[in-house]
Amino acid sequence: MNTKTPIRAVIAWLALILIVSTTGLVAADELEYVDSAQWTFNQDCSVQGNLIVTSMPYGVQIWDASDPAAPVMLSDYHFLNGDKATVVDVMDDLVAAINQAGVLTLLDISNPSSPELVNEISGFGVYNDIVFSQRGESLIAFIAGSTGLKTVNLTDPLNPVILDDLDLASYESSLSVHGDSLVVLARYAGLYTVDATDPASLTLMGSASMSDSSLRNVTTSGDLAVVAARNDGFYVYDIADRTNPYELINVIPDLGGGSLRVQDVMLDGVTLYVTTDQEGVVIYDLGTPAAPVLLGNDPESYYSTVDSHYADGKVFMTHWGDAKDGIHIVDVGDTANPHSLGHTAAWDFTRFAAVQGDIVYTAMGHMGSFAHRFDPVTGFTYEGGHFVLNSWGLDTANDLVYVASAAEGLVIVDWSDPAGAIELGDLNVGVCRAVEVVGDIAYLAVYLEGLLTVDVNDPANPTLLGESGFALQSIAVSIEGNLAATADRNDGMNLWDISDPADIIHVGNFPTTDKTMGVKLHGDIAYVCGSADGLIVVNISNPALPTQVDQFPIMAKGADIEGDLLHVATNGAGVTSFRISDPAHPVETASYNTTGDAQALVVLNDMLFVSDYSGLLALFYDHPPIGIDDQPLLVAGTRLASYPNPFNPVTRISFDLKHAGHYKLEIFDVSGRFVSQLDAKRFEAGHHSLTWQAQDADGRQLPSGVYFARLAGSDAAAVTKLTLVR
């Protein structure tokens, strides 16, 4: 045992004290984004050479498609501005993306493996589109949105200049640069032609009324403009006279299986590439614009296409919804025989996660379950997958993964080798939505069947033990001792005596006014996740008479507990964290907007793995180990910093003292354990610095990870976080 200083007092300060403020106190819990994986819902894409840039709900990804059959992701950049990224464009070393709140984010991708934030600009509204245009020495961005048509000079992205703002109609949603003019599509209004010879002086030239609210995108070439209109197919317009664009024909594609929904259109000369739901790319010849001729279509079938990009004989099509998620690269060089070359990796809806050791397992809807190795410094690394149709929930124990499948029931997988998972056994018990394993018993929440228990002592032959006998809409389960709780949607939370797993006894019910989505037991308390009801705290010391004791207005979907911390997945708002020193009355300590719809989460130490529907996110919870009232007094003027940080393996820790006195500088690991003392002596007022070589007190090299440097004296204390990356 290390006897240096009061360890409890040290732990009380670690990760709590930040840098001194003029008020004398700075302390806060914080949820920090670390990495993400298993993405879906590609929104938009742009292509430059072999680089594909695609917008995701949480930000952008950059892929190297030099080999279209096996694209390689170079970077995965997470925006912190809180709303879903929608449209994106790239030119040279600059990426521009706009989110649903109308925030324009600019990234420097001179190193595409490590994008750097350049600037964020707000005020561009919703239903956006953005197109770069090089005008002489100036880089101009034309941006259409609900706040109008804007031109922005991005030659110096650190100091963007809005050159003009033309209000055409509400919801300008797509535009095409056509020489010195623009063709702009506005939902509910129609087509507009704009003179953009001088980007600082936009002038409306003409318009064509279109009242359809499903207008999607516009593309132009020569004297033609084509509009994608979903269920109404596509419209071809003559724009030879910019002052008087007029409709030539409306085409609703039908390849013999019914009309197709048109999502995007792209013109290359008189060749029109149409991306549709279900059938992918359909190609037309517009040599006679009023009589388009069908040339060919991609023979593959697709579930849902969003947006597309044409470049160099290829169509890059965003897609999500089944095993073909990602950006599809379709060779359209032979217009009679377009065919897919490959696609970027992506997954299905991220529903639930479980963690064992450094492997995070994720239930991914129609695509089964996947394993990612996680390192707090380097993030996620894909390890392998196993197909289980319609996976909803997971639990892990002893290298086995227990999958709750709505199609296959309970499936048990040996994942001792993450790259070569082996299915051991299964038991079809109906629409299985959640599983929790305790010892040799698996407790299942089965939709319309209630709570079931299964003996999994022999994983190859799981055996049904007991059934609740209640036809409940069970979707989540939690176990505490001899008590089980199920979240049963319209039937609230139900409590069960499982002293004998083969004889499940109903002991109580707690009704909710809206759908019950999740539940977590903690001693005599149940945390019930309600849709409109929020997080409900229920006293279950008498399971027959559960009683509400507190409530929080968040759209709770799932929860997990680590120590005295409760973390809640909140639909549409990310994660909210609570301290539960008093379990009956949680105190909110931190929150993080994941931008997607957080469905569930699992916690290991200070890491949260969040199933955010459109991706798996890793968050680091930087928190004080004890209550905020126990923090020490800080004296204004004391500062602590380090450089470089992250570092390998040497960093210099510097500090400024307002007063002379006896101080010591010590290093602790993320759990609060003492690592090393760098110095302890009398320091004069002023600036000081000490070097740390990432060694412990015995001179041993330390592994990669997060550490804390703490300066403490009679009248001052400060902490700074250090990240060692070897």
- Please state which of the ranges 291-305, 338-352, 488-502, 707-721 shows the lowest mean pLDDT: 707-721
The conformation of residue 630, written as its DSSP 8-state character, comes to G
Residues with Cβ within 8 Å of 81's Cβ and at least 6 positions away in sequence, in order, are: 99, 101, 103, 105, 120
* Residue 214 to residue 256: CA distance in whole angstroms: 23
Structural fold of domain 212-336: Methylamine Dehydrogenase; Chain H (2.130.10)
Q: CB 556: neighbour CB atoms within 10 A?
A: 28
For residue 303, the one-letter residue type is Y
Query: What are the residue ranges of helices labelled H in 439-489?
Result: none
* Residue 399 to residue 412: CA distance in whole angstroms: 10
Q: What is the pLDDT of residue 373?
A: 92
pLDDT surpasses 90 at 50: yes
**For the chain, what percent of residues have pLDDT higher than 90?**
57
Region 296-315: what's the mean pLDDT? Answer: 87
Residue spans of beta strands (DSSP E) within 376-492: 379-386, 391-397, 400-405, 409-414, 422-427, 431-438, 441-447, 450-455, 463-467, 476-480, 483-487
pLDDT surpasses 80 at 572: no
* Residue 571 to residue 586: CA distance in whole angstroms: 19
pLDDT in tens, 76-96: 888 876 678 889 999 999 999
pLDDT surpasses 60 at 469: yes
Q: Which of the four CATH numbers 1.10.10.10, 3.40.50.2300, 2.60.40.4070, 3.20.20.70 does domain 7-27+633-724 have?
A: 2.60.40.4070
The answer to whether 435 and 413 have CB atoms below 8 angstroms apart is: no
Q: What is the pLDDT of residue 143?
A: 93
pLDDT surpasses 90 at 208: yes
Q: What is the pLDDT of residue 323?
A: 54
Place of tokens 């039937």: 491
- How many angstroms from the chain centroid is the CA of residue 130? 23
For residue 449 the two structure tokens come to: 């069947």
Q: Greater confidence, 707 or 82?
A: 707
pLDDT surpasses 60 at 515: yes
pLDDT in tens, 412-428: 999 988 888 999 999 99
**For the chain, what percent of residues have pLDDT higher than 70?**
92
Q: What is the DSSP string of 656-718?
A: EESS-EEEEEEEEETTS-EEEEEEEEEE-SEEEEEEE-SB-TTSPBPPSEEEEEEEEESS-EE
pLDDT surpasses 70 at 7: no
Q: How far is CA 557 from CA 225, 285, 463, 550, in A?
A: 46, 50, 30, 17
Burial group, residue 521, by CB count within 10 angstroms (0-12, 13-18, 19+): buried
Query: What is the rounded radius of gyration, in angstroms, for the C-alpha atoms of the chain?
Result: 29
pLDDT surpasses 50 at 724: yes
Region 588-599: what's the mean pLDDT? Answer: 86
pLDDT surpasses 60 at 322: no
For the chain, the average pLDDT equals 87
pLDDT in tens, 392-416: 999 998 789 999 999 999 999 999 8
pLDDT surpasses 90 at 69: yes
Region 336-352: what's the mean pLDDT? Answer: 88
Q: Greater confidence, 301 or 518?
A: 518
Region 575-581: what's the mean pLDDT? Answer: 92
Q: What is the pLDDT of residue 173?
A: 83
Q: What is the pLDDT of residue 81?
A: 63
Q: Greater confidence, 32 or 222?
A: 222
Q: What is the pLDDT of residue 146?
A: 86
For residue 406 the two structure tokens come to: 């709505």
CATH number of 352-560: 2.120.10.30
- Please state which of the ranges 15-29, 289-303, 665-679 shows the lowest mean pLDDT: 15-29
Q: What is the pLDDT of residue 399?
A: 80
Domain ranges in the chain with CATH number 2.120.10.30: 352-560
Q: Greater confidence, 681 or 602?
A: 602
- Please state which of the ranges 5-19, 63-77, 194-208, 342-356 shows the lowest mean pLDDT: 5-19
- HSE, CB side, 13 Å, CA atoms: give it for residue 164: 18
Q: How far is CA 200 from CA 149, 161, 166, 193, 197, in A?
A: 12, 10, 10, 16, 9
- Please state which of the ranges 375-389, 449-463, 475-489, 703-717 shows the lowest mean pLDDT: 703-717
pLDDT surpasses 90 at 564: no
Q: What is the pLDDT of residue 35?
A: 86
pLDDT surpasses 50 at 690: yes
pLDDT surpasses 50 at 14: no
pLDDT band at 447 (very low <50, low <70, confident <90, very high): very high
pLDDT band at 223 (very low <50, low <70, confident <90, very high): very high
Q: What is the pLDDT of residue 584?
A: 95
Region 551-580: what's the mean pLDDT? Answer: 91
Q: How far is CA 453 from CA 185, 390, 472, 500, 717, in A?
A: 57, 21, 15, 10, 53
pLDDT band at 539 (very low <50, low <70, confident <90, very high): very high
Domain ranges in the chain with CATH number 2.60.40.4070: 7-27+633-724
Element (DSSP H or E) covering residue 265: strand 262-268
pLDDT in tens, 82-131: 678 889 999 999 999 998 888 999 999 999 998 999 999 988 888 789 99
pLDDT band at 717 (very low <50, low <70, confident <90, very high): low
Domain ranges in the chain with CATH number 2.130.10.10: 212-336
